[in-house]
Structure 1
Amino acid sequence: MLPGRWRRPSPDPALDGAALLDVAGPEAIEVHARALAIGAHLATTLVVTGYPAEVTPGWLAPLLNFPGHLDIALHIEPVPNPVAAAGLKKQRARLESGRRAGFDKGNLDDPEVEAVAADAAELAYRIARGEGKLFHVALYLTVHAPDEDALAEQAAAVRAIAESLLMSVAPTTYRALPGWLATLPLGIDTLKIRRTFDTAALATCFPFTSPDLPPATGADGEAAGVLYGLNAVSGAPVLWDRFAQDNYNSITLARSGAGKSYLAKLELLRLLFTGVTASVIDPEDEYVRLAETVGGQVVALGADGVRLNPFDLPAAKDGEEDVLTRRVLFLHTFLAVLLGTDLTPAEKAVLDRAVLAAYARAGITGDARTWTRTPPTLADLTAVLAEDGSQAAADLDDRLAPYTTGSHAQLFNGPSTTATSGHLVIYALRQLPEEVKAPAMLLALDAIWRQVTSRPEAGRHLVVVDEAWLLMREGAGAQFLFRMAKAARKYWTGLDVITQDADDVLSSPLGRAIVSNAATQILLRQAPQAIETISENFHLCHGERQFLLSASRGEALLLTGDRRHKVALISVAAPGEHDVITTDPGELAAQHLNDGLDPDGGYIDQAASAGEWET
């Protein structure tokens, strides 16, 4: 080869262009006036020819979320500033000359011309100051379908969505092939049907908003979180990691039967596989089967010989000097919930002296070396009150009698009889009467909190409080739950509050504070009577309100505390997971029948089995 001359390189015999095209392209293309037959399916392209006057960020999301097969191509070509400035100058001159000609003829102002002139002037000034640029933008939509009828139906649906966004669309008549090529990922605009956008208008188109949450990744960049379900719009998996948020708390609100406990158990089961430990307040024994399956511990409060002593002291850490004082303060809260009324100042003073005296009689003082001694019991407290001699002490003694010598003495009076440690601890309260469930929940929460704050090794921990309305209706109980929500993050602990009564949570300042301290917020089906309160506090739009009113069992709206992300999802479980966490009476009765064989090898009577299960 002579210097300065170029010779075309010989083709690489290892690369066969025809073979590559056969693999990547369709086997055949048949061109019609408005559609293409691409292999075994049809496609037609729509061109956006008109746009709305005002848009908001993410306004193209309805097109992106179209449930059918739709390809969207947005072609952008920047316009050089000198060219843009010259074009705007000519446009402004044309508009101004038209306005002056109309004035000379005595015509009234044209509002549309005035608006266009003002927009052109503002845009020209922004470009001159370098605050924006102009772009040529083309938007094409290619619809795919297996046959002509389906193609017409899908194209009509896309056209309806576009028109609902105040866009004008037109088919690519006799230009079906260039239209399809314009939506391929080749970056070639074969139609060049464009409109001019400025920077602000173009920014509302990028990026397309998606109903999917951002991917959950850990510190090492690996996928994190657990599967909550499938996206109700796109069908994509919804992965969420509560321990990657600003705080690890969550709030779940739903009407009865909407599936809130099912979703909570599903998340709990999957978190256990990631090494998270958990404690659960279970008023209806819905988590017992789950605990038995994964080797957890069940503390059945109300059963014979099962008791927690409210006077137990937490394990002291080095440097702590106020363990006894904090325990006395908790006893004030516990006794207020136990008695069902707020204590008067006189009663608080008497109670404070009596609690300290009960600890002193047990040999426990402000000296940390005495904190490992056996703590007093509720009976010791009433003995001190009986010796006080004041009327307030006598009243307190009488009001505490049912819990020391009466019907509830086995639950609250005496030393603790069960350990509360393990990777999963369930506090089952179903055997308790409704009158003492709230103080029992508070006592269980206190045992959980003592366990969390005294763990020898740091690790992720989840505290689930199901049917939290039982505790929220008590002022002292709501305050304890609020303090726990505020401090849980310091111990790598998340608080999951689940309730079916939105008013008990959202009608009080403490309840709203608990919601505001939850970075993960889950709403399932709501009753019409509660939707206004839910919408106001969670800032729901009209579509989200309608979704919650018509949601099926297991459908939920997941919100982040900062309102930046939200997604509608459907909780899904594998058959093995479902068998462990379901509490549907019909399914449980069927499982009971399948497992209940009589000695002769036949199934036991169905009616008798159902009655026994209900008992």
Structure 2
Amino acid sequence: MTTAVAAGAYPFLAEGGLGADGIYIGRDVHAEAAFCFDPFALYGRLEGFTNPNMLLAGIIGMGKSALAKSLATRAIAHNYRVYVPCDPRGEWTSVAAALGGQTIALGPGLPGRLNPLDAPARPAGTSEEDWAGEVRKRRLLLIGSLAQTVLGRELQPMEHTALDVALDEVVGYTSRIGGTPLLRHIANVLANPKYLGGTPASPERLASAAENLAHALRRLVAGDLAGMFDAPSTVAFDPTAPMLTIDLSRLGTAGDDTALVLAMTCASAWMESALADPTGGRRWVIYDEAWRLMRHVPLLERMQAQWKLSRGLGIANLMVIHRLSDLLSAGDAGSRGRALAEGLLTDCSTRVIYRQETDQLATATTLLGLTSVETDAIAALTKGRGLWKVAGRSFIVQHLLHPTERALFDTDARMHTTPATHR
């Protein structure tokens, strides 16, 4: 019979695929064909594909880290650059080294310093006055985010005024002496009310608001993060490097994540000098272990801004979590944190789900709008096999690794090492 007759008698069940453009991922299990993916090749060509952002979720040991690293490694061959603003476990360092990239390790006792108040280079076509206003806005957002994270609440109007005045005072002083604003300069001004004059605000109320902010910033100046973000940068951003990672593994991996979130906020602000350049080419920005950041509204706000600007800046954001319920940990239903986390999911046209535990299926089904067949599938996926939801279309894809990649990405090496014999 002809294929037309066969299709009518027994409808074909396999998707037609996304085309051959882009990064090779592996094998489309149902179609028995190669599966390739490139968010920028799909944008404007695939109906419903509205942004290049991507969510990757899966329980430990199912291969999601290997997929993220494989995407990054292969993307470089397609003229992407890759940025990892937060590497909590130091797993990306070897990958960056193998690709000729750069890693900046931050932590107590390490020589690396990043000044998050560094001013990015002024883009071509932007006036000095307009760019000065943009730099000021970014610095205020950064300092406000840091203070909110430490205080655990939103800032009050008087506290915003204190930050405005303190930043202007510091920028004016450092410009006169030819220096660069530092966080310790901001903290010092906030701690000394005599520098906060010249505003219509009540001096007593302004001094009280400034005192709280000074104590909040003190953690980065004299607390457990001292020496990392309160001094001039010791490294320069290399926009030509194929990969740049920020290794934060020395900050600890258990208990309170506040130090990690503060460090990531500073590191990501420092990276914005490259991300904000619309001529910087196509780039992946990978948020590994993103589940640890869901409880911190200021950082979610910064991520949301980057998600919204992804198309204009040529950025594909990749958020890696364990479970879909990690998004719900951002806050109670109706809260600002929950709305931001769910907004990040909404702004991901591509969702890749590796195996989920049985008690997570209901949450995954609700958040992703899965069919009953898809829900059953993610409960039985094997290692390296995931459900790809791309603008409403579904694929079961087996990720295939080259032997060199397998050795480079192996996160279970210590589990396979034979212990030494003790005599």
Q: TM-score, normalised by structure 2?
A: 0.83
Answer whether contact 2:304 2:344 (CA < 8 A) is retained: yes
Separation in 1, partners of 2:54, 2:297: 21
The letter of the residue matching 1:489 is R
Residue aligning to 1:265: 69
Separation in 1, partners of 2:355, 2:53: 21
Separation in 2, partners of 1:340, 1:441: 16
Tell me which moved more, 298-307 or 480-489: 298-307
Residue aligning to 2:167: 355
Separation in 1, partners of 2:154, 2:274: 28
Task: Give structure 2 stretches of 5+ with no counterpart.
Answer: 44-50, 195-206
**Structure with more relative contact order (C-alpha pairs < 8 Å, separation 6 or more):** 2
Separation in 2, partners of 1:228, 1:607: 41
Residue aligning to 1:253: 57
- Residue-by-residue CA offset, 1:15-63 (whole Å, 9 max, x unaligned): xxxxxxxxxxxxxxxxxxxxxxxxxxxxxxxxxxxxxxxxxxxxxxxxx
Q: How many residues align?
A: 381
Residue aligning to 2:394: 566
Are residues 72 and 558 of structure 1, via their aligned partners in 2, closer, same or farther at CA, if it must alter by over 3 Å?
Answer: farther
Residue of 327, 346, 357 corresponding to 2:158: 346
Percent identical:
25
The answer as to 2:247 corresponding to 1:428 is yes
The answer as to 2:368 corresponding to 1:545 is no
Are residues 406 and 445 of structure 1, via their aligned partners in 2, closer, same or farther at CA, if it must alter by over 3 Å?
Answer: closer
Are residues 541 and 72 of structure 1, via their aligned partners in 2, closer, same or farther at CA, if it must alter by over 3 Å?
Answer: farther
Answer whether contact 2:147 2:216 (CA < 8 A) is retained: no
The letter of the residue matching 2:383 is R
Answer whether contact 1:338 1:436 (CA < 8 A) is retained: no
Residue aligning to 1:485: 307
CA RMSD of aligned residues (A): 2.5
Provide the secondary structure at the position in 1 that maps to 2:320. strand
Task: Give structure 1 stretches of 5+ with no counterpart.
Answer: 1-70, 77-136, 140-161, 163-204, 217-223, 365-369, 594-604, 609-615
Are residues 454 and 342 of structure 1, via their aligned partners in 2, closer, same or farther at CA, if it must alter by over 3 Å?
Answer: same
Separation in 2, partners of 1:411, 1:138: 66
The answer as to 2:259 corresponding to 1:454 is no
- Residue-by-residue CA offset, 1:427-468 (whole Å, 9 max, x unaligned): 11111134311111122222222212237x442111111111
Are residues 333 and 395 of structure 1, via their aligned partners in 2, closer, same or farther at CA, if it must alter by over 3 Å?
Answer: closer
The letter of the residue matching 2:250 is Q
Answer whether contact 1:523 1:558 (CA < 8 A) is retained: yes
The answer as to 2:134 corresponding to 1:323 is yes
Separation in 2, partners of 1:75, 1:423: 51
Residue of 406, 409, 413 corresponding to 1:581: 409
The answer as to 2:358 corresponding to 1:528 is yes
Are residues 405 and 334 of structure 1, via their aligned partners in 2, closer, same or farther at CA, if it must alter by over 3 Å?
Answer: closer
Residue of 79, 84, 103 corresponding to 1:298: 103
Superposition deviation, residue 230 in structure 1 = 1.4
The letter of the residue matching 1:319 is T
Point out 4+ residue stretches in structure 1 off by more than 4 angstroms: 71-74
The answer as to 2:298 corresponding to 1:470 is no
Provide the secondary structure at the position in 1 that maps to 2:163. helix
Provide the secondary structure at the position in 2 that maps to 1:210. coil
Separation in 2, partners of 1:284, 1:479: 24
The letter of the residue matching 1:483 is A
The answer as to 2:29 corresponding to 1:237 is no
Task: Flag the structure with larger Rg.
Answer: 1
- Residue-by-residue CA offset, 1:306-333 (whole Å, 9 max, x unaligned): 1211221122223241223322233212
Answer whether contact 1:283 1:430 (CA < 8 A) is retained: yes
Provide the secondary structure at the position in 1 that maps to 2:218. helix
Separation in 2, partners of 1:229, 1:525: 17
Separation in 2, partners of 1:474, 1:607: 46
Provide the secondary structure at the position in 1 that maps to 2:166. helix
Separation in 2, partners of 1:72, 1:606: 65
Provide the secondary structure at the position in 2 that maps to 1:394. helix
Answer whether contact 2:113 2:227 (CA < 8 A) is retained: yes
Are residues 607 and 453 of structure 1, via their aligned partners in 2, closer, same or farther at CA, if it must alter by over 3 Å?
Answer: farther
Answer whether contact 1:245 1:519 (CA < 8 A) is retained: no
Answer whether contact 2:148 2:154 (CA < 8 A) is retained: yes
Provide the secondary structure at the position in 1 that maps to 2:258. helix
Are residues 377 and 214 of structure 1, via their aligned partners in 2, closer, same or farther at CA, if it must alter by over 3 Å?
Answer: closer
Superposition deviation, residue 525 in structure 1 = 1.1
Separation in 1, partners of 2:2, 2:380: 31
Separation in 1, partners of 2:79, 2:270: 21
